[in-house]
Amino acid sequence: MTSAAPTATTPPESSPSPESSNAATNRRILDALLIPILAVFTALVIGGIIMLIFGDNPIAAYRGLFSGAFGDARGWAATVRKMTPLILTGLSVAVAFKAGLFNIGASGQFIMGSVASVAVGINFEGMSPWLHAPLALLAGIAAGAIWGAIPGILKVYTGAHEVIVTIMLNYVASLFASWTVYAGGTRGQSTGPLWDPTAGARSETPDVLASAQLPWIFAPPYRIHWGVALALITTVVIWWVIYRMTLGFEIRTVGENPRAAKYAGMKVNWVVILAMIIAGGLAGLAGGIETLGLNHKFATEFTGAVGFDGITTALLGQNNPFGVVLASFLIGAMDAGGTRMQFDSGVSADIIGVIQGLVLAFVAAPLIVRQIYRIHVQVKSSSGPGWGK
């Protein structure tokens, strides 16, 4: 749209035609980073205070957290592994935000993507890996997209709020997934269609065929697969779509002001549905990647929790695709370091959940952070990190 765009790392938020002045650009990047950084910092401090109250040693805990996430190759591997699905679910939430929609349903879309990928992955024996894995991933994307489209369509045609519908669909997805792998009960209930007959009483699918598995970049024990690369490529694509394509411009315009968008001749309804389809597809892709790259099967214990964490990474990343990657890296590192923290310091890994919750609260309510650090809001702030702005 314009030639004055800054180089990749952190493109400016929002305003479709960025001003050219370098200082202004730097200022905006700084401003966009400020709230997330302060939010994380504040959350860590409060987490430390909570640990002190419970008689734990926060220094030892954070040291353990750090060395668990970055201390050795295995730690780095865990961080990258945890980060991968968060990038995609974060993008899912962020794209919906751009269109002014709150996608709480990434969790359900993730699960539907997992199930669809597994369904393709355990069938079609003898298919070439070059065909099988992409087909399984596409199935995941499609299932997630359909699951995302439903709330979009319901919103447009019936006015049903997407928050309610997506929350409900999370339950439907989760129970549907449990049914597909159901091992049957004691009275001869029929088993689920994807259940592995050799698993006995366990409710899980067989392993996906080798031809559908994403190859390792670093084999176990590191367990890093090509899904990471897919997630990063997807990030660039989504950035391009949102900031460089007409569709992205329409999504952003609808998000900022649906009336103006309508007045400008945009098909607002269609844009809303399309944004939800993209969001659902991204979360579905996350499910496919986790299933084909890491778990190699679906079982009831694989929940869609990363779908909810996507809300955190989207908000922390200020709904910017590259911001989401940074945020996913941070949240992934916290998840990865939790075990080592527990092991070294004896602090329960639950504190990680508390800290992440605080981060979410602070980025969702930036006024708190602004009050704490006495940062004054400029009247025309282009970076107001509110909901999807």
Site residues, another protein (CB under 8 A): 27, 30-31, 34, 37-38, 41, 59, 62-63, 66-67, 70-72, 74, 78, 81, 174-175, 178, 182-183, 185-186, 200-203, 220-221, 223, 294-295, 299-303, 305, 335, 338-340, 342-344, 346, 348-350, 352, 373, 375-376, 378
276 C-beta neighbours (distance < 10 Å), count: 32
Between residues 205 and 253, which has the closer beta carbon with respect to another protein? 205
Between residues 220 and 265, which has the closer beta carbon with respect to another protein? 220
C-alpha separations of 335 from 304, 332, 375 in Å? 15, 5, 30
> Least CB distance from residue 369 to another protein, whole Å?
11
> Least CB distance from residue 248 to another protein, whole Å?
30
Q: How far apart are CA 248 and CA 264, in angstroms?
A: 15
Q: How far apart are CA 334 and CA 352, in angstroms?
A: 7
Q: At what angle do helices 246-256 and 227-244 cross, to 10 degrees?
A: 70
Between residues 125 and 301, which has the closer beta carbon with respect to another protein? 301
- 210: closest CA among 297, 98, 87? 297
> Least CB distance from residue 222 to another protein, whole Å?
10
CA distance from start to end of the chain:
19
Between residues 159 and 221, which has the closer beta carbon with respect to another protein? 221
b/e code 365-374 from CB counts within 10 Å (16+ = b) = ebebbeeeee
Q: How far apart are CA 344 and CA 142, in angstroms?
A: 43
> Least CB distance from residue 50 to another protein, whole Å?
17
> Least CB distance from residue 328 to another protein, whole Å?
15
Between residues 158 and 186, which has the closer beta carbon with respect to another protein? 186
> Least CB distance from residue 67 to another protein, whole Å?
4
Q: How far apart are CA 383 and CA 46, in angstroms?
A: 26
Bridge partners of residue 278, in order along the sequence? none
Between residues 39 and 277, which has the closer beta carbon with respect to another protein? 39
Peptide bond into 58 cis (omega under 30): no
Between residues 46 and 156, which has the closer beta carbon with respect to another protein? 46
> Least CB distance from residue 331 to another protein, whole Å?
13
Please report where in the chains the tokens 């998840």 appear, as a residue.
335
> Least CB distance from residue 37 to another protein, whole Å?
6
- 297: closest CA among 128, 134, 115? 115
| Structure tokens belonging to residue 194 | 């994807």
Beta-strand relationship, 224-225 and 216-218? antiparallel
| Structure tokens belonging to residue 29 | 């990047």
> Least CB distance from residue 338 to another protein, whole Å?
6
Between residues 19 and 344, which has the closer beta carbon with respect to another protein? 344
Q: How far apart are CA 196 and CA 208, in angstroms?
A: 11
What length is written for the chain? 389
Between residues 60 and 153, which has the closer beta carbon with respect to another protein? 60
Q: How far apart are CA 382 and CA 118, in angstroms?
A: 43
Between residues 101 and 292, which has the closer beta carbon with respect to another protein? 292
> Least CB distance from residue 352 to another protein, whole Å?
8
Q: For residues 97 and 314, is the Cβ–Cβ distance under 8 A?
A: yes
CB neighbour class for 255 (10 Å; exposed up to 12, middle 13-18, buried from 19)? buried
